[in-house]
Structure 1
Amino acid sequence: MAQSVKPISSPVPDSWYPTLAVFMLAIGLIVTASFFIYEATSSRKNRSLAKELTTGAVASVFLGFGSLFLLLSSGVYV
């Protein structure tokens, strides 16, 4: 039974971690900036809750995965 067990491995090659971290953090920061610009420039009557939630969720996902890959690329295995 112990012979059929495969070791746990990452679905993403280790050499891609720094590149993924940079791109995902950049995209997350750009979406976050667009969220802040939208909040600052639109009036209360013209705001859309769906757009705010969607933009916030997209930024959160990209910043979360970007942070994960940044930690993985620096050797902190979480």
Structure 2
Amino acid sequence: MSLKPISSPVPVVWYPTLAVFMLAIGLIVTASFFIYEATSSKRNRSLAKELTTGAVASVFLGFGSLFLLLASGVYV
């Protein structure tokens, strides 16, 4: 039985591109969240929409930060 080395499921050359796109999407979703909070009244707000938008922004910013660190050589 031969052992295979551990390798990334994503090619290393994709790290910078993934970082830029995921961070951009995360920042756009975050901006839409802030716009929603600033323009809607307290009676018209939806907790489900706030939680969904916050979760989507968090996931994209988290993975974008991860790929940014990987692209810059910080292996986490």
- Per-residue displacement from partner, 1:4-39 (whole Å, max 9, x unpaired)? 211110000000000000000000000000000000
Runs of 4+ displaced beyond 4 Å: none
Q: Percent identity?
A: 91
TM-score normalised according to structure 1 size: 0.95
- CA shift, 1:49, in A, is 0.2
Name the CA distance, whole Å, in 2 between partners of 1:5 and 1:64.
32
Distance 1:24 1:53 in 2: 19
Cα RMSD of the aligned pairs, angstroms, is 0.7
For residues 20-73 of structure 1, what are the alpha-carbon distances to aligned partners after superposition, in whole Å with 9 as ceiling and x for unaligned?
000000000000000000000000000000000000000000000000000000
Which stretch of the first structure deviates more once superposed, 31-40 or 4-13? 4-13
Long gaps (5+) in structure 2: none
2:40 match? 42
Deviation at 1:76, TM superposition (A): 0.2
* TM-score, normalised with respect to structure 2: 0.98
**Any idea what SS the aligned residue of 2:9 has?**
coil
CA distance in 2 between counterparts of 1:75 and 1:37 reads: 35
